[in-house]
Chain A
Amino acid sequence: MDVNGAPADAAVSTSQPPAQNGIEGVGSSGYKLKFCTVCASNQNRSMEAHLQLSKANYPVISFGTGSLVRLPGPSITQPNVYQFNKTSYDSMWKELREKDEDLYTRNGLLKMIDRNRGVKWGPERWQDWQIGIPRLEHATDRGSEGIEGGVADVVFTCEERCWDAVIDDLHNRGTPLNKPVHVINVDIKDNHEEASIGGQGILDLANSLNKAAQEEREAVGAMSFDTGNAASRASFDERVPDIIGEWQERWPNLPATWTLAWF
């Protein structure tokens, strides 16, 4: 749990989070929000954030919203394309190493996929996710502990297009679970360096959100609405826009969009 993992130039494009939101996360005990990270191919940005959130002991799962997993190939016209849910990171890693180890080492692809194999089996597609189906078979995934119920409290997308796809999909599903979910986009450019910085930004936001959720749970009885105390202490849900606003000032280079949607 050391900050040494952070790239040295993180401060160049984004300011460091203030002290109360350390990189440490929640430790092993205490209440934890359940997170979900989403990008296009479930390879770079969502996986970096998945890893960082799981290192900070948060329950987390991740998805991609694209129709296929697309990775750069030898030229712009020859991308490497894989099926979601069917190809493991391990087999992609082996295949690419076979194809051109030199090229895929140089562009960082092998390193990225190698990291991903340490996080979970393979890329999952958001649209194929059966929300609310237990995920006990994912017990070896990083961050799987605490999210066995297959539902998240907060969804982080890493690109506006993915946020749009997630919201559109939730509309399509018809909100059958009656469960509220905060969907937050944190705009991250799709490269290794920005993904790492974006992951730190997401972790910082997750820490702030979780702190508010913990405070809400500790305030037993104090918030009873009928006793007139309702206004004295705002709930977690109400504090989300404030928290994002404050976070946005700390991370001005990661523009955010938020809504409260339904599973």
Chain B
Amino acid sequence: MAASGQLSVPDQIRQLEGARKLVLGDVSYYPQVIQATLPIIGPTAQVEFRRWGADFLSEAFATPAVALSQKETLSLLVLETLVLLAQDPKQDPMVLRSVIQTAASIYPLALRWTINNPYDTAAWDHMSAIKSRILRLWDTAAVTVRICCVKFAQRVVLAQMPSVNAEPRKNDPLDVSLAMIPSGHPALDKHSLEAEASGLLDRTLGVLQDSSSEVLIVDATLNALSILIRARPSASNRILNAIFSFNPLKLASVPLTSKTKVVVRSMEKTTRMLLAHLARRDPRNPHAPRIQQYLERLMASKAEVLDGGSRKRAHGEPPSGLEVKRQRMGPAQPTFQVSPLGAGPHSLADVFALTQNAGLRSFDVSQVPATLAAKISVNTIARIDASILDRAIEGVRERLAHLHEAARQAPSPETTALDVEDDDDYEPYEPAYGPAENDEQILNKLDSEPSSQSRELQRPAVLSSLGLPTFKLPPPQPLNPNQAVKVGQGTVARVFGMMSGLGDPAMRRTKVGVNRLAASSYDRDAWITIITRLATRSSAGLNGISVKDEDESAPASAVHLGNSIRESLYTYVLEDFRKRIDVAVSWLSEEWYNDKVQQKSASDPGSSPLHYEKWALRLLDSFLPYLHAQDKVLTRFLSEIPEINAALLSRVKTLCRDPSMITLALTSLLYLVMMRPPVREIALDTMQGIWLEYEEARPSAARHLAKWRPTFLEDQKQASEGSGQLSMGATTAAAST
């Protein structure tokens, strides 16, 4: 409580905030304001003032607005207060946090000051006192304080290990490192400082080796390591080895609560981001292959642990149903009986249903994804007691025999259900590539046709005819071309719907190391192959014929089916072109192949319509505006599509209108120059074009051209010399003034 007559605490804080606003507006006031506030925020002040003051100091020494030389001078003012604040055993944790952050910012400054002023030992003594206090706190303090200790240790390691730059860099005076400490310094012993740094590094990395999984400390550590790995070569090996042996998913084995999910995801993603950052920043790093390996392994086990788990939970209904089943089956085992079916109509499902539980019986198994169902079936079959299986099979056999008996006696069409759907699975002779009618359409047809046909259809549902030797599907009505196109489009739409629903996870799987072999990843590829061939080949060659011998509507629709699939493919790829570029490539390869085949077989090579170039251009045009400078997708696209021409490359050239995309455009072209000799010349022509057209791209383009087409640059030089004597003169004149 403030004494009466004085300002209240909030009022004083408001005043202090006023002073802070002043220095934020003009940092040259920092020395005065710090000196004026130090007595108010000292170790004996009320906690509100200590908090404000420590926070203020941490801000002052962190802000890049204050020059480092000024910070160095300022640090000498505050060190003593920092020591006192840090050493109070009952210090408020929030004050401690700010004090440690301040100390981390000051540490390299104090070291540099001591290096340059060897006889001022007071500053270094203070700094050492703060350091030993912080290193003790590292063991005992609350986690929120300990993360700051980790960061402080990072600064110490950075300052006391040899830098990647042998000479201290002039443009980064903060890059204080062991190299700056002269041997024989009266206050600083180079070797013990390096040994201390080495010990602190081990202690920092310890959190990755411990089984203790304090996520804050793990994240805080990982997120502080990048600069050490990059700038301190003697530390990088040890750090990377520690990360490689770290398993961020170790917590994933315990039951996942909402908090552990957050924690596991956090550690996994934080580890992955650090390594990905290192790989991206320096792809030629000798550790790059190991980083790649680790990341692949991590993705694989994450897919197993997290995706597997979350997928089960995502489909809320099926697993709960399955769990019920498991519980039910357990106790029922000893007295397992298959009850005979009663009188009345039965569905096929009834015949095979072994449980009496109404809920389970009504459960729609088709909701379970096929892969999951397969997994469950395999597991169940592997574990099931053979005698129970035998008894179940026997029971079902008896039911079927019984039904055969009953059917022979009373085939009553009136009482049978119109249950076409249930039999679908059971009809091996239904052609899978048949008419694109869905169940509803078939049912509709049944409703509208009261003829003998429908009687015939009713019969398969009658269980009496389970043998079904004579049943045949009624022949479909001939479709007129418009219906056919409509139905065809419906099928295509369904395939795309399925691909976007199921395709993406399968896609991710294929990238996952060993799982590459899993047959499940075949699905999406198979569908893409079907759909692309449907687009390219189904109607190919028909166009010419139909024009001749049918009326106008027919050829139009024939063309439409192929093109409407192409439109759908185009939209599908563009919806997520980074992930679906492989679809684009296989599609374009099919188009190219088809174009070639058509040209060969056509009597007049010019007559058959060509699709490859049109669609390649459309795709490229559409995703170019959305590229980022780091996108690999363009290079991949250009290198994998079957044919490249000048028109395509001219689109790439236009990328250079955005200066940030120049590198991407040139890299993609360079890749073509190096890896696709047949298009080398046109790729180089394009590069030339870029050089001529885009001033900003000249330096990079010239570098590549100098290697691959040196004559061009020489010609340009000569040309400009030849034609530009005048301007040359002007330039030299300008330079001399």
Does B560 interact with chain A (Cβ within 8 Å)? no
Stretch from A42-50, A66-74, A195-203 at the B interface: A66-74
Does B459 interact with chain A (Cβ within 8 Å)? no
Complex Cα distance, B257 from A246, in Å, reads 10
Complex Cα distance, B660 from A177, in Å, reads 28
Say whether B64 contacts A130, CB under 8 Å: yes
Complex Cα distance, B105 from A174, in Å, reads 13
Distance in angstroms from B342 CB to nearest chain A CB is 44
- A59-92 interface bits toward B, Cβ cutoff 8 Å, 1 = contact, 0 = none: 0000000111010000011110100000000000
Partner of B626, one of A79, A148, A237: A79
Complex Cα distance, B219 from A176, in Å, reads 17
Known contacts A170-B223, A178-B101, A260-B223; is A226 also within 8 Å of B140 by CB? yes
Say whether B227 contacts A257, CB under 8 Å: no
Say whether B220 contacts A260, CB under 8 Å: yes
Does B224 interact with chain A (Cβ within 8 Å)? yes
Interface residues of B in 251-307 (CB under 8 A from A): 257-263, 265-266, 269-270, 273-274, 276-277, 280-281
Nearest-neighbor residue (CB-CB) of B145 within chain A: A225
Partner of A262, one of B142, B174, B224, B622: B224
Does B62 interact with chain A (Cβ within 8 Å)? yes
Nearest-neighbor residue (CB-CB) of B47 within chain A: A220
Complex Cα distance, B230 from A51, in Å, reads 39
Task: Say whether chain B's binding surface is mostly helix, strand, loop, or mixed.
Answer: helix
Partner of B92, one of A150, A221, A236: A221
Does A108 interact with chain B (Cβ within 8 Å)? no
Q: Which residues of B contact A68 (CB under 8 A)?
A: 658, 660
Does A171 interact with chain B (Cβ within 8 Å)? yes
Interface residues of B in 67-102 (CB under 8 A from A): 89-94, 101
Task: Say whether chain A's binding surface is mostly helix, strand, loop, or mixed.
Answer: mixed
Say whether A164 contacts B273, CB under 8 Å: yes
Does B207 interact with chain A (Cβ within 8 Å)? no
Distance in angstroms from B135 CB to nearest chain A CB is 15
Complex Cα distance, B262 from A207, in Å, reads 19
Distance in angstroms from A257 CB to nearest chain B CB is 6
Q: Which of A172, A220, A241, A242 has the most CB of B within 10 A?
A: A241
Known contacts A79-B626, A225-B145, A260-B147; is A148 also within 8 Å of B21 by CB? yes
Does A224 interact with chain B (Cβ within 8 Å)? yes
Does B226 interact with chain A (Cβ within 8 Å)? yes
Nearest-neighbor residue (CB-CB) of B571 within chain A: A76
Say whether A66 contacts B628, CB under 8 Å: yes
Does B63 interact with chain A (Cβ within 8 Å)? yes
Stretch from B148-156, B398-406, B721-729 at the A interface: B148-156
Does A38 interact with chain B (Cβ within 8 Å)? no
Say whether A245 contacts B261, CB under 8 Å: yes
Q: How many residues of A contact B (CB 8 A)?
A: 62
Say whether A167 contacts B63, CB under 8 Å: no
Say whether A256 contacts B262, CB under 8 Å: yes
Q: Which of A174, A226, A244 has the most CB of B within 10 A?
A: A174
Say whether B21 contacts A245, CB under 8 Å: no
Known contacts A149-B63, A225-B140; is A257 also within 8 Å of B223 by CB? no
Say whether B266 contacts A149, CB under 8 Å: no
Does A230 interact with chain B (Cβ within 8 Å)? yes
Say whether B265 contacts A176, CB under 8 Å: no
Stretch from A8-16, A93-101, A132-140 at the B interface: A132-140
Say whether A230 contacts B141, CB under 8 Å: yes
Q: Which residues of A contact B714 (CB under 8 A)?
A: none
Say whether B142 contacts A168, CB under 8 Å: no
Say whether B92 contacts A237, CB under 8 Å: no
Say whether A70 contacts B626, CB under 8 Å: yes
Does A238 interact with chain B (Cβ within 8 Å)? yes
Distance in angstroms from B553 CB to nearest chain A CB is 30
Distance in angstroms from A216 CB to nearest chain B CB is 7
Distance in angstroms from B663 CB to nearest chain A CB is 12
Partner of B94, one of A175, A217, A230: A217
Say whether A225 contacts B258, CB under 8 Å: no
Known contacts A164-B273, A220-B92; is A175 also within 8 Å of B262 by CB? no
Partner of B174, one of A176, A220, A242: A176
Partner of B224, one of A175, A237, A258: A175
Interface residues of A in 132-180 (CB under 8 A from B): 132-134, 136, 148-151, 164, 167-168, 170-172, 174-180
Complex Cα distance, B230 from A260, in Å, reads 20
Say whether B90 contacts A245, CB under 8 Å: no
Known contacts A67-B660, A77-B625, A256-B262; is A171 also within 8 Å of B24 by CB? no
Does B144 interact with chain A (Cβ within 8 Å)? yes
Say whether A134 contacts B63, CB under 8 Å: yes
Q: Which residues of B contact A67 (CB under 8 A)?
A: 628-629, 658, 660
Say whether A136 contacts B220, CB under 8 Å: no
Does B439 interact with chain A (Cβ within 8 Å)? no
Does B423 interact with chain A (Cβ within 8 Å)? no
Complex Cα distance, B261 from A176, in Å, reads 31
Does B341 interact with chain A (Cβ within 8 Å)? no
Complex Cα distance, B142 from A131, in Å, reads 27
Q: Which residues of A contact B151 (CB under 8 A)?
A: 175, 178, 180, 262
Does B59 interact with chain A (Cβ within 8 Å)? yes
Known contacts A178-B101, A179-B101; is A237 also within 8 Å of B143 by CB? yes
Q: Which residues of A contact B274 (CB under 8 A)?
A: 171
Does A105 interact with chain B (Cβ within 8 Å)? no
Say whether B64 contacts A132, CB under 8 Å: yes
Distance in angstroms from A145 CB to nearest chain B CB is 11
- B614-639 interface bits toward A, Cβ cutoff 8 Å, 1 = contact, 0 = none: 00000001101110110000000000
Does B474 interact with chain A (Cβ within 8 Å)? no
Known contacts A175-B151, A224-B92, A235-B93; is A249 also within 8 Å of B258 by CB? yes
Say whether B90 contacts A227, CB under 8 Å: yes
Q: Which of B101, B140, B148, B216 has the most CB of A within 10 A?
A: B216
Say whether B63 contacts A132, CB under 8 Å: yes
Say whether A225 contacts B24, CB under 8 Å: no
Does A112 interact with chain B (Cβ within 8 Å)? no
Q: Which residues of B contact A256 (CB under 8 A)?
A: 262
Say whether B93 contacts A225, CB under 8 Å: yes
Nearest-neighbor residue (CB-CB) of A235 within chain B: B144
Say whether B273 contacts A168, CB under 8 Å: yes
The 5 tightest CB contacts between A and B, nearest first, are A245-B258, A235-B144, A245-B259, A134-B24, A171-B226
Could you give 23 example pairs across A and B, Cβ below 8 Å? A68-B658, A77-B624, A132-B64, A134-B25, A136-B25, A151-B62, A171-B277, A172-B226, A172-B277, A175-B154, A177-B105, A178-B58, A178-B62, A220-B92, A223-B92, A225-B142, A226-B89, A235-B143, A237-B147, A241-B259, A241-B263, A241-B266, A260-B220
20 more CB-based (< 8 A) A-B contacts, given A81-B625, A180-B151, A241-B266:
A66-B628, A76-B622, A134-B24, A148-B21, A171-B227, A177-B63, A178-B105, A179-B58, A220-B47, A223-B93, A224-B90, A230-B141, A238-B144, A241-B215, A242-B259, A244-B262, A245-B259, A245-B261, A259-B219, A261-B223
A residues neighboring B (CB under 8 Å): 66-68, 70, 76-79, 81, 130-134, 136, 148-151, 164, 167-168, 170-172, 174-180, 216-217, 220-221, 223-227, 230, 235-238, 240-242, 244-246, 248-249, 256-263
